[in-house]
Structure 1
Amino acid sequence: MRIHSLPTQLVNQIAAGEVVERPSSVVKELVENCFDAGASQVSIEIEQGGARLIKIRDNGCGIVKEDLPLALSRHATSKIASLKDLEQVVSMGFRGEALPSISSVSRLTLISRISDADCAWRVNADGTEQDFNPQPDPHPQGTTIDVRDLFYNTPARRKFLKTEKTEFAHIETLIKRMALSRFDIGFILSHNQKEIFNLKPAITESEQEQRIAGICGSAFIENSIKIDFAASGLQLTGWVGLPTFSRSQQDMQFFYVNGRLVRDKLVSHAVKQAYQDVLFHGRHPVFVLYLTLDPALVDVNAHPAKLEVRFREGRLVHDFLFSALHRSLADLRPGRNLMQQVEVEALPQTPAVLDAKPNNVAWLNDSVTQQSKPNFDNKTAYSSRSPQQASLPLHVEEAMQAYASLYPKPEPVAQSAQPEARPLGHAIAHLHNIYILSETPNGIILVDAHAAHERVTYERLKQQYQNGAVPNQPLLLPIKIKVSAAEADLAEQEHEFFNTLGFEINRSGLETIVLRSIPVLLGNTDMETLVRDVLADMIEHGMSQRIQEKSNEILATVACHGAVRAHRRLTIDEMNALLRDMEQTERIGQCNHGRPTWVELSTNDLDKFFLRGQ
């Protein structure tokens, strides 16, 4: 066959194959046009899941009568005029393909009126871009687009539609997601003449939280924190769920770039990294987040349906997102109001590295010093001297005191401090040798001692490791450990890496290594088991090039073995020492595996259990 031009309607039907996958695709394109028209109210009327009718009405600026034929023609738009405009798109739609594409696979009617016109004008379209004959209409200011019998002239496409219930579910989910992107707009959605929801414009923060609660559930707002971070021309606002409020699916993750809902692998990776050591395995975080940046720094033209974007400085965006979320989760501590807004005006140039706060460093090293003491007193932390510690030289305590003296110690807490000054209260019992029972002015708190101590130890190790100073203590009697030849090779090869973790390990034979020094924090740990497990983790994760990437996982393994064991009876002093450390530890709400470390029952909760006052 000779080369020939395709008919206009067929060209538009081919284009429709890219942007009109199902009824919800039509709704998305048309509602985005409402946004660009400056509408404050959008009404979406659906019949038979959208197969019979999709009717979108707004109160936006409208379209001039003379432009109506152009609005229904391919590659005609009011939103860009040059390549420069395309490189910094600020509107939701810009291709000029949606209306002609939709009209080529449906019976489309467009009615629109501008503010100073005597009346509205109505046109019908069939995708041929011909025979437009505008007719007057009493429609108020704004635009209505009536799409009937979708895919009536492409039966093969119509066969791929799902049930009415399924198709409408896609539309309802879409409108909810779009409603989260524009709090300043009201949305009304109806199906088969039945109103599904009516969302009023949400201007205040309280109204916005009500809209989110209506869409994501009240539990989301109750278990989330509001954040507002800005740095390097980027701003991230929104709500992120607590690690303990997670889901088995990624169905409550809403991320918007300059108001556009997108799916992006770079964003997903940054979020996953931020939650990696606080989320239980197999669970997914929940969030509603808004990233705002210069439109020139993001390409929204990377996907026909505009569902994906491409960042021009991907690494900068990734590190910014990671730091913003990482710090917001780190700042969650007992006694903090969850809905308190987190604001940071500037982040470090290398945001992936946590910066230590001086007062935290002082407290950290003071606690390290206390853990090396052989006996308990009123300042003692929650570790006891094990038989292995008996092999420590007597000068260790003095050495560690000298190390801690490099930092000023915090002011001691007055003995007369009231319980209100202690967010986790005061310990009164150790239940089943596992759970700490603490009393607060507002109720009671239960703490999983092992899980909490594990997080405290892990955060200290991370901080020390990042500062390049994990304090260690030499063993008076080195420990010989039998391992496989491969493990001995690895221990010898990664000698320097073990040093950074506070271990001194030397090879002593084909299948023998010798442990000569250990981290001070782990003085009461089964070192032989710990070293074997760390070597096994390192072999599983790969050799040296991947060890640095997996350092947190290795530190988590170290912390797990270093944590106080379940069923070891704790004294009141030990329990209170742990509670005080918890109050100053980042991410204390979860252990390294994502399990909760503590739970609070208020006096109101207790009254309900026992029907008091009823």
Structure 2
Amino acid sequence: MPRVIQVLPPGLVNQIAAGEVVERPASVVKELVENALDAGARQVQVEVEEGGLALVRVTDDGCGMSSDDALLALERHATSKLRDAAGLEAIATLGFRGEALPAIASVARMRLDTCDGAEGAPGTRLVLEGGRLVERGAVARPRGTTIEVRDLFFNTPARRKFMRAPASEAGHVSEAVLRVALAHPEVGFTLRSAGRVALGSPAGAALRERAVAALGREAARHLLELSGERGEVRIRGVLTAPDHSEATSRALYLFVNGRYVRDRAASHAVLRAYAGTLPQGRFPAGLLFIELPLDRVDVNVHPQKLEVRFAEARAVQDALFHTVAEALRTAPWLRHRPAEAAGPSDGPGAGGATAPDGAVAVPTAAEAPALVASVLAEARALHGGPPPPLPGSNTSFAFPLPAAAGEPARAAGYFGSLRYVGQHARTYLLCEAPGGALVVIDQHASHERLLFQRLREAWRARRLPVQPLLVPEVVTLPPGPARAVEGAIDELRALGLDVEPFGGDAFAVKGAPAALGGVELTPLLVDLAQQLEQLDRGSALDQAVHDLLATMACHSAVRAHQELAPEEARSLLDGLDSVDFKARCPHGRPVVFELSLYDLERRVGRR
């Protein structure tokens, strides 16, 4: 018997559509708050009970609606924000599809009170149950709209049983309101959950104030402001310095033209800028606002409008990378220690002392070592003048060069001001800072950072020497990575790897950077090929530059458990002041931490 095709009833169609728009109570809050903003609201109040499953109420002071418009707004695809297909090419509002209100009404008991403020005209009240209009009348209220949603999913128990505990749903609601509040500081927001104020942000609140609500007070202490423009793309916002990191990437908020979005490629561009400054598996936190012409971004690609498609995605990624990298590069590498970190009886000579001549106090031992820097993995403008001398493949130190004739001597920086005490476990340099603080420096990590900086400067100036191999080393790769290497031969040669195709999936390595010394080239090329295959070409080159130079520096640096003469330790300390990347090695490991004299004396009972 043939199957009978039939048209679904409107009520069932609305419930199916609601499954795309209304995922949970937070989805209801998001859609209603966005409607309030599109209506020009300057104050938005949100109330929820039982995480929004029992009640969601959103009140705004926007333009409101007339009685006829309010009734029409409950029809699917009825909207005041879009007129024709051409409007899809430059959407300036948060909503535009006309699906939210009918979708929400179809799976809940909803009451809508609205007034457009027209002289002599009363407000309008509409009551619906499961999408069906059960009451229509007049109501006295000021200009604006209040939408009350009760018993969400009461008529779709299969959906309701997948909801989480009220506390969990309340957390999602808070996150939804917070995301909108971050993007619209000109609007005041209040969220009440179970009768208590969960979020309160007045209109005109500074970005840093709202960042505290999003990131927490600890992360907010480490924020760096950034702003940049590249072509048609403008980037602004705040990000944490590498001395603070998160276990996940959830604390990195991205906004495109005032709309919160999730974009893995854009997030990856931010992480590339942090290359070598964060430990493995750690992520920055912050708020980044991307602004570009409306016709260069398509927001109609996700049911809940959480994803967008850029006309030129690479241009956006480049703008993010360079803006973040520049902000990290030009920021102070060590943070001032906050006043509350000092002991109550601290004074001159008691811990927390400032370093001389512009040096900055290092964080306490309880804080992560600070490095506000970024390894710029793309070729920036070439530096003028000859690069610093390149290290060899042995572990001897390159002593700092004397100042050129007519060039003023470099003032002693933080590391130059330290008094070298000795070596601990043949791995750590122990020093005394002005004021008596104890400074501990990892000799391998610090030397690796110093060598990495010099190698990178030489690479930028295209003065990275290549050592020809007496007998070329033949490396065979899997098909995918082999094709990636074929497409990046020129880039590999710029890195100092002289690679040529050798037939099939084999390649002959005829030369390597002189500083690599005895490094095995086969696993190095295999890893590089796999990286080139997995990432887009530009990103792979960025990471490849960083990884290769980091490997060279690591193999050339002094090792742990290697004894150093005092003059070698002194040379290392003085050399660290000549680079702008000091507190972490290129692999993200800490280089230095400080224990104040106050903390030291407290631990031995003198305080």
TM-score, normalization: structure 2?
0.78
The 8 Å contact of residues 390 and 458 in structure 2, kept in 1 or not, is answered as no
Q: After superposition, give the CA deviation of every residue in 1:221-241 in whole Å (9 maximum; x if it has no partner).
A: 222311111121211111222
Distance 2:9 2:512 in 1: 80
Partners of 1:469 and 1:500 within 8 A in 2: no
Map of 1:50-449 to 2, 5 A cutoff?
Answer: 50-118=52-120, 119-126=122-129, 128=131, 133-137=136-140, 139-204=141-206, 208-334=207-333, 352-358=378-384, 362=386, 364-365=387-388, 367-368=389-390, 380-381=399-400, 411-413=407-409, 422=414, 425-432=417-424, 433-441=426-434, 443=437, 445-449=439-443
Take 2:446 and 2:117, find their aligned partners in 1: how far apart are those partners? 63
**Deviations along 1:5-33, whole A, 9 cap, x unmatched?**
44332222221111001111111111111
Return the structure number with greater helix share: 1
Aligned residue for 1:598?
592
**Counterpart amino acid of 1:278?**
T
Shift of 1:431: 3.4
Shift of 1:92: 0.8
Match of 2:343 in 1: none
- In the other structure, the counterpart of 1:47 is 49
Query: AA paired with 2:380?
Result: L
1:195 is displaced (CA, Å) by 2.6
Could you tell me how far apart the structure 2 residues matched to 1:554 and 1:102 are? 54
Q: Which amino acid aligns with 2:409?
A: V
Change over 3 Å in CA distance of 1:34–1:611 after alignment to 2: farther
In structure 1, how many angstroms separate the alpha carbons of the residues matched to 2:202 and 2:335?
Answer: 31
Q: Secondary structure at the match of 2:83?
A: coil
Instruction: Provide the residue aligned with 2:463 in structure 1.
Output: 469
What CA distance in whole angstroms lies between the structure 1 residues aligned with 2:295 and 2:602? 56
In the aligned structure 2, how far is the partner of 1:602 from the partner of 1:437? 13
Question: Matched residues in 1 for 2:419 and 2:124: separation?
Answer: 75
Alpha-carbon distance in structure 2 between the residues aligned to 1:162 and 1:372:
58
Provide the secondary structure at the position in 2 that maps to 1:558: helix
Q: Greater shift after overlay, 51-60 or 544-553?
A: 544-553
1:191, CA displacement in angstroms? 2.1
Report the Cα distance in structure 2 between the residues aligned to 1:277 and 1:219, rounded to whole angstroms: 22
Alpha-carbon offset, residue 318 of structure 1: 1.4
Instruction: Tell me the equivalent position of 1:557.
Output: 551
In 1, Cα distance between the equivalents of 2:47 and 2:525?
Answer: 58
Q: 1:107·1:147 contact (CA, 8 Å) conserved in 2?
A: yes
Q: 1:426 to 1:302 in 2, by over 3 A?
A: same
Q: How far did 1:266 drift?
A: 1.8
CA distance in 2 between counterparts of 1:317 and 1:263 reads 14
Cα-to-partner distance string for 1:97-135 (whole Å, 9 max, x where unaligned): 100110011111111223454543221134657576232
Question: How far apart, in 2, do the equivalents of 1:132 and 1:357 lie?
Answer: 74
2:451 counterpart (430, 452, 457): 457
Q: Does structure 1 conserve the Cα–Cα contact (< 8 Å) formed by 2:466 and 2:511?
A: no
**1: CA distance, partners of 2:490 / 2:167:** 61
- Residues 575 and 495 of structure 1, relative CA distance in 2, 3 Å threshold: farther
CA distance in 1, matches of 2:531, 2:65: 63
CA distance in 2, matches of 1:226, 1:278: 18
Q: Partner of 1:229: helix, strand, or coil?
A: strand
The correspondence of residues 3-42 of structure 1 with structure 2, limited to 5 A, is 5-42=7-44
Distance 1:544 1:209 in 2: 37
Alignment deviations for residues 270-328 of structure 1 (CA, whole Å, 9 cap, x no partner): 12322333322222222221111111111111001101100011111111112222233
Report the CA distance between 1:499 and its aligned residue: 7.0
Contact 1:333 1:589 in 2 (8 A): no
Q: CA deviation at 1:194?
A: 2.6
Q: 1:264 to 1:583 in 2, by over 3 A?
A: same
The answer to whether the 8 Å contact 1:12/1:127 transfers is no
Residue type of the alignment partner of 1:24: A
Q: CA RMSD in A?
A: 4.0
**In the alignment, is residue 542 of structure 1 matched against residue 529 of structure 2?**
yes
Question: How do residues 503-522 of structure 1 correspond to structure 2 at under 5 angstroms?
Answer: 519=514, 522=515
The answer to whether the Cα contact below 8 Å between 1:42 and 1:187 also exists between their aligned partners in 2 is yes
Q: Is the CA contact 1:504–1:517 (under 8 Å) kept in the aligned structure 2?
A: yes
Identify the match of residue 568 of structure 1 among 547, 562, 566. 562
- The amino acid of 1:111's aligned partner reads D
| Cα contact 2:127–2:133 (8 A) shared by 1 | no
- Please state how far the C-alpha of 1:251 moved relative to its aligned partner: 2.4
Please say if residues 323 and 351 of structure 1, whose CA atoms lie closer than 8 Å, have aligned partners that are also in contact. no
Structure 1: stretches of 5+ with no match in the other structure:
340-349, 382-400, 507-512
- Over the matched positions of the two proteins, sequence identity in percent amounts to 35
Superposed displacement of residue 148, structure 1 = 0.6
Report the counterpart of residue 394 of structure 1 in structure 2: none
Structure 2: unaligned runs, 5 residues or longer: 339-375, 501-507, 534-539
> For residues 99 and 209 of structure 1, do their structure 2 counterparts lie closer, same or farther at Cα, with a shift above 3 Å needed?
same
Q: Structure 1, residues 45-93: CA drift from partner, whole Å, max 9, x if none?
A: 1111211111111222222333111222211112121222221111111
Partners in 2 of 1:373 and 1:305 — Cα distance?
57
Q: Secondary structure at the match of 2:268?
A: helix
User: Residue 329 of structure 1: CA displacement?
Assistant: 2.8
- Superposed CA deviations along residues 204-237 of structure 1, whole A, max 9, x for unmatched, are 4xxx323312331111122231111112121111
Equivalent position of 1:509 in the other structure: none
Partners of 1:498 and 1:40 in 2: CA distance: 55
| SS in structure 1 of the partner of residue 19 of structure 2 | helix
Pick closer, same or farther for the CA change 1:574–1:505 going to 2, 3 Å: farther
Is contact 1:38-1:60 (8 Å) kept? yes
* Kept in 2: contact 1:297–1:313 (CA 8 A): yes
Residue 554 of structure 1: CA displacement? Answer: 2.3
Describe the SS at the equivalent of 2:146. Answer: strand
- Give CA deviations for 1:171-209 in whole Å, capped at 9, x if unaligned: 1222223322222222222222233232223434xxx32
Q: 1:538 to 1:502 in 2, by over 3 A?
A: closer
